[in-house]
Structure 1
Amino acid sequence: MTSSAHTYRVWAPDAERVDLHVGVQDPRVEPMTQVDGGWWALSTDPGDGRYAFALDGGDPRPDPRSRRQPDGVHAPSALVDTGTFAWTDDGWNGVELRDAVVYELHVGTFTPEGTFDAVVDHLDHLVDLGVTVVELMPVAAFPGRHGWGYDGVDLYAVHETYGGPEGLARLVDAAHARGLAVWLDVVHNHLGPSGNYLAEFGPYFTDRHHTPWGDAVNLDGPGSDEVRAFLLDNVRLWLEDYHLDGLRLDAVHALHDERAVHLLEEQAALADEIARETGVPRTLVAESDRNDPSFVALRGPGGSGGYGLHGQWADDVHHMLHVLLTGESQGYYHDFTDPDAAVKVLGRSPFLHDGTYSTFRGRVHGRPVDPRVTPGWRFVASLQTHDQIGNRAAGDRVHHGIPAGRHAAGAALLLTSPYTPMLFMGEEYAASTPWQYFTDHAEDWLAQAIREGREREFAEHGWAGDVPDPQDRGTVAASTLRWEEVHRGEHATMLDWYRTLLRLRRERPALRETPLGEAEVRREPAGGGELLTVARGAVRVLVLLREGTATVDLPGEAEVLARFGEVSVEQDRLLLGADSVAVVGGWS
């Protein structure tokens, strides 16, 4: 660090005294001065750059807005000047959501090294695959070395073992150089239980509302103006200082906000402002279980009264595909066993429940999507995600329990849909590795509570057997991708299939641009199996699931664009074997 003075600021409205602890090598303590609005400030020599705040004689705590926690979430913060990052992306124009193909990855298990720099080594693989957006699971500082990141507690800091702030900047810069946008998964609805010192500084939380993870963030009570500013400034940090192209907002239904202008609306407006100032699209995607298109409806005067976010996850697409391919019917999968589920979700709406009765919830759920207002590309859909794999008892991926042809069929149905597709790391080559839940908590009571909680949850879902210990390093190792598989046997075959489908998605606009409600979807028995036909413009996707064979008459100009499994053409007939799929163009 330089010896020039640095100004420290912290919001602590109820404190009577705040002391700044500066330095680790040559520590000193200095009193801070109270300024307007509950803020405290002090300009002083930063020493070695480490610092912490102590309120009313208490223990030193990390800065709530810390940019770096080099020794963990309980230790002093470190100063970071994000303005010194060496960017080379001045010519970057970004990626619009309507053109996106998203690839979700976890930095710690995407490679054996588990770092941002190691991710860079595989970016060319993603470009060759046909991906346009890399979505990083949360990187805000969390306890220990290993974890999913949803128990982050320093929302402005970048997890040290991944490579810290500079490592993230290098990854984003390298991605932009290859034409890839980068989104980040952020968690604003709660903080983790270990290292969470925010409540000591001010009214960041409220007991008026609750989430599945504890008290809700205070968005509408006394002191909430600064809490909202804390979260809005966090959006600005990621989009401006780190040049990120978008954010996935975790579980927005748990953001309890009774104000006239919801926090999400303010965050969307901020992202739009940054996009206008920089000329680069900035995308905010909501993750919600409400099946409510108002998240992506227009906001403000003249709009439709929505939040104005740019996209949202559509888990019903995943649920439909999972049931179609596996036949599972427990829990929330039950309603998706309805034969009309695939017809509706592939053809008319990303939501099976759009004002219909949900047996899982025991009530009516969701709201209809009007395709004239909200196009299909605003909904991010998937065959696999970190949630839907990792929250299974063994963390098994969907392709671990079905034939390769059925996996290929699911990929075809997703990647030829009007929704914005998202892949989960390793899906494209049918990775053999599971994706399991893992943590690295130092507190024995917390680790045991997590073990017992997950065992209870899985028992309620009817999943018997041993549950991997989240605290066991072997669980992390088991969940780490094995890149040596990529070019071997069935893995290479599946990778080629995904590449082909994504190429067709680019080359055949009808696949992604046919509006909701205008595709023709048929599901019918065929030769002991089930034939699913999806017509989008002049392209047909034909899938024969499970047993038997099927014969389909082809028009004279038809051309098989892609095939997987036992697929052949004899004269003017297409022959499909069990668990096979064909994409046919030129259908008049």
Structure 2
Amino acid sequence: MQIDLLRRKIGLNFNDGFAEVWLWAPNANKVNICIQKTEHRLDMLAKEYGYWYLKTEQIRPFDAYSFELESNTDADNAKLKRADPASIYQHDGIFGDSTAFDLGRFEWTDQNWKPIAVKDYIIYEIHTGTFTPEGDFESVINKLDYLLELGITAIEIMPVSQFSGNRNWGYDGVFPFAVQNTYGGPQQLQKLVNACHNKGLAVILDVVYNHVGPEGNYFNDFGAYFTEKYNTPWGNAINFDDAYCDGVRTFFIENALMWFRDFHIDALRLDAVHAIKDFSPKHILAELKQHVDKLATENNRPYHLMVELDLNDNRYINSQQQGGYGMDAQWIDEFHHTLRVAAGQEKTGYYADFNGIEDLAKAYNDAYVYNGQYSEHRKKKFGVETENPGEQFIVFSQNHDHVGNRMLGERTSTLVSFEMLKVMAGAVLCAPYLPLIFMGEEWAETNPFQFFISHSDEELVEAVRKGRKAEFSAFHIEGEAPDPQDEATFNRSKLDWNKAATGMHKTMLAYYKTLIRLRKENAAFNDLNRKNTQARAITDKNTLFLTRSSEEQIIICLLNFSKNQQNLQLNLPGNMSILLNSATTEFGGPQPTANAIQHNGEISIAPESILIFSN
């Protein structure tokens, strides 16, 4: 089937008063559409390459419908009744019929939206269900003014594709096109994006193209969506290069185009692309990028593809002219890992490979900490050198994974001191990369973010419980993980917005606002040319010396990760003045003024603090 850039072809779509339906089901020898309201069954027409087609006036918006599949591969020639794998709305959840939805009905008012340059992204990651007490898109809209005041320029929404029940991180979605019903469904997501653009915020949506969730996953009833050629942590890999893969590739390309075209999303964050297995002559990511770029040209606005990648392999982010896949940016977990170790995190599990302050300096200088040397954790040489610009890397001191994949889901605020939290925030926001803030970290939220589900299959629930326990064995953690199925686990993970206005939480919020303002206002912070960044570890003092520069400005950051006051012989230029001292009483520290103590070129920096100087 030929992809149409201007409109979605897969699934059920409305066009000039007609419902047009395309279904890829090469396993079927007959397909009917069943309309719940009228109990009519409409025959679909077989097309090439396993597609089925119908154009009808008998289906209207919000009608419930399903497919009836008859396959000659079944021993008893049984008929299967299934929801649309490309359903846009599952009003009654994963086990209900699909709901016909007209994507073109929403009245957009974001025509004057001017997309933000990626280099100016200050990203705020949210989980819709726990970001607000209500846990839906409408309540997120009510918090947009808060995010603007904080200084955020882009929100990143964890996956919203329909999952089982009403409590899930989102990575167990089984309807990639359908917007979670308990969050408000597709129309409310359109409304949220429209509101963001009208307030000047970009929107990044987290999508999952490396696996499909376990409960309500009926893809194999339609066709060869999975292949036994490769295994992933979630079972058989999605079929991007085996027999019948063309229909699968089209399905996911259509998905990405829909988010950009029909929901006005600015960027997609592709989950764990290292788990996408594809040895085709043209990798699925490269083909996806080509279609996205064509749509961007057609609509005269940029669209971006950002990837979570557990490989220090810049082939993913190199341009296709350079032989790469053309992704626009990648998350770099290594910055997080070495920052955590520098801040005193125990070197267990995947932290074991990192040496703290020395490796943090390397992360500033080289982006990849491992760029060809031997990794003890991986038992092999790992990574390559990269000269890609800073705007192609996303860094953080915490995110949903590195909080929620702790056994107890503790936030960093409960693991390190208040002063160290400020140093870690400074380390991220002073970096020559795109900074990401995980919801609530800006006020030092202490509520955990734990792993939660709401599956209906008890055997599956028990398997998840056992899997979580096994996951922490590498960290040698005693005790029991919170029950992910228990609603209390979900409720504990909700943000407590009352904290933001009280005590030290309010102080931390003011500190984050100051850091973000400094990043925006200073040319040296805005310049993400990595050649203008130099970092040096002062190992005996557990302190880092970071220089950021542009044509008109030099900024010097001193980050003291030690618990002692450090006296440093640095001989700063005479015209340097202090922009920020995290140790002042203004930010809850012990020092009455922002001025650093200097004598004969020696600078005194308070324990667990950051000093920022500018010329």
Answer whether contact 1:142 1:152 (CA < 8 A) is retained. yes
- SS at 1:52's partner residue? strand
Shift of 1:517: 4.8
User: Equivalent residue for 2:154?
Assistant: 133
Stretch moving more, 332-341 or 123-132: 332-341
User: Equivalent residue for 1:325?
Assistant: 343
Cα 1:2/1:177, change in 2 over 3 Å: closer
* Residues 1:46 and 2:67 aligned together: no
Q: How does 1:112-261 map to 2 (within 5 A)?
A: 112-261=133-282
Letter in 2 for 1:167: Q
Q: How does 1:334-349 map to 2 (within 5 A)?
A: 334-337=352-355, 339-346=357-364, 348-349=365-366
Shift of 1:331: 1.6
Shift of 1:228: 0.6
Answer whether contact 2:272 2:309 (CA < 8 A) is retained. yes
Which one of 553, 558, 578 corresponds to residue 607 of structure 2?
578
Shift of 1:557: 2.0
User: Equivalent residue for 1:427?
Assistant: 441
Shift of 1:2: 13
User: Equivalent residue for 2:382?
Assistant: 365
Shift of 1:72: 0.7
Q: How does 1:514-533 map to 2 (within 5 A)?
A: 515-524=529-538, 530-533=542-545
Shift of 1:497: 1.2
Q: Using the alignment, how far apart are the partners of 1:497 and 1:234 within structure 2?
A: 39
Q: Runs of 5+ in structure 1 lacking a partner?
A: none
Which one of 14, 17, 21 corresponds to residue 8 of structure 1?
21
Shift of 1:76: 0.5
How many residue pairs align between the two structures? 576
Shift of 1:422: 0.8
Shift of 1:487: 1.4
Shift of 1:30: 3.0
Taking only the aligned residue pairs, the percentage that are identical comes to: 38
Shift of 1:7: 3.0
Shift of 1:238: 0.3
Shift of 1:26: 3.5
After TM superposition, the score normalised by the length of structure 1 is 0.95
Letter in 2 for 1:547: K
Q: Using the alignment, how far apart are the partners of 1:8 and 1:524 within structure 2?
A: 64
Which one of 517, 534, 545 corresponds to residue 503 of structure 1?
517
User: Equivalent residue for 1:541?
Assistant: 557
Shift of 1:564: 1.2
User: Equivalent residue for 1:459?
Assistant: 473
Q: Using the alignment, how far apart are the partners of 2:110 and 2:18 within structure 1?
A: 31
Q: Using the alignment, how far apart are the partners of 2:285 and 2:15 within structure 1?
A: 39
Answer whether contact 2:126 2:158 (CA < 8 A) is retained. yes
Letter in 2 for 1:110: F
Cα 1:131/1:4, change in 2 over 3 Å: closer
Answer whether contact 1:96 1:281 (CA < 8 A) is retained. no
Root-mean-square deviation (CA, aligned residues, Å) is 1.9
Q: Using the alignment, how far apart are the partners of 1:376 and 1:400 within structure 2?
A: 30
- SS at 2:322's partner residue? coil
Q: Using the alignment, how far apart are the partners of 1:522 and 1:186 within structure 2?
A: 37
Letter in 2 for 1:503: R
Answer whether contact 2:125 2:156 (CA < 8 A) is retained. yes
- SS at 1:486's partner residue? helix
Q: Using the alignment, how far apart are the partners of 1:92 and 1:14 within structure 2?
A: 44
User: Equivalent residue for 1:446?
Assistant: 460
Q: Deviations over 1:351-398 (max 9, x none)?
A: 11111111111111111112xxx1111011111111111110000112
Q: How does 1:345-494 map to 2 (within 5 A)?
A: 345-346=363-364, 348-370=365-387, 374-494=388-508
- SS at 1:295's partner residue? coil
User: Equivalent residue for 1:98?
Assistant: 119
Q: Using the alignment, how far apart are the partners of 1:488 and 1:574 within structure 2?
A: 33
Q: Using the alignment, how far apart are the partners of 1:318 and 1:73 within structure 2?
A: 35
Q: Using the alignment, how far apart are the partners of 1:192 and 1:555 within structure 2?
A: 57
Answer whether contact 2:339 2:356 (CA < 8 A) is retained. no
Letter in 1 for 2:406: R
Shift of 1:574: 4.4
Shift of 1:551: 3.4
Letter in 2 for 1:255: I
Which one of 6, 17, 21 corresponds to residue 34 of structure 2?
21
User: Equivalent residue for 2:586?
Assistant: none
Answer whether contact 1:207 1:215 (CA < 8 A) is retained. yes
Answer whether contact 2:557 2:611 (CA < 8 A) is retained. yes
Shift of 1:411: 0.9
Q: Using the alignment, how far apart are the partners of 2:305 and 2:341 within structure 1?
A: 29
- SS at 2:462's partner residue? helix
Q: Using the alignment, how far apart are the partners of 2:405 and 2:102 within structure 1?
A: 38
Q: Deviations over 1:176-211 (max 9, x none)?
A: 011100010000111011111111101111101111
Q: Deviations over 1:496-530 (max 9, x none)?
A: 1111111111111212426335433232267xx53
Shift of 1:60: 1.2
User: Equivalent residue for 1:298?
Assistant: 319
Answer whether contact 1:4 1:46 (CA < 8 A) is retained. no
Shift of 1:257: 0.9
Q: Deviations over 1:469-506 (max 9, x none)?
A: 00010111110001111111111111111111111111
* Residues 1:67 and 2:88 aligned together: yes
Cα 1:10/1:250, change in 2 over 3 Å: same
- SS at 2:315's partner residue? helix
Cα 1:518/1:90, change in 2 over 3 Å: closer
* Residues 1:33 and 2:50 aligned together: no
Letter in 1 for 2:30: R
Q: Using the alignment, how far apart are the partners of 2:21 and 2:510 within structure 1?
A: 53
Shift of 1:421: 0.8
- SS at 1:60's partner residue? strand
- SS at 1:270's partner residue? helix
Q: Using the alignment, how far apart are the partners of 1:282 and 1:142 within structure 2?
A: 26
Cα 1:337/1:570, change in 2 over 3 Å: closer
Answer whether contact 2:342 2:356 (CA < 8 A) is retained. no
Stretch moving more, 458-467 or 139-148: 458-467
Q: Runs of 5+ in structure 2 lacking a partner?
A: 1-13, 71-77, 584-589
Q: Deviations over 1:408-449 (max 9, x none)?
A: 111111111111111111111111111100000000000000
User: Equivalent residue for 2:73?
Assistant: none
User: Equivalent residue for 1:312?
Assistant: 330
Answer whether contact 1:431 1:482 (CA < 8 A) is retained. yes
Answer whether contact 1:10 1:39 (CA < 8 A) is retained. yes
Q: Using the alignment, how far apart are the partners of 2:63 and 2:15 within structure 1?
A: 9
Q: Using the alignment, how far apart are the partners of 2:379 and 2:342 within structure 1?
A: 23
Shift of 1:114: 0.4
Shift of 1:9: 2.6
Shift of 1:547: 2.1
Shift of 1:5: 4.8
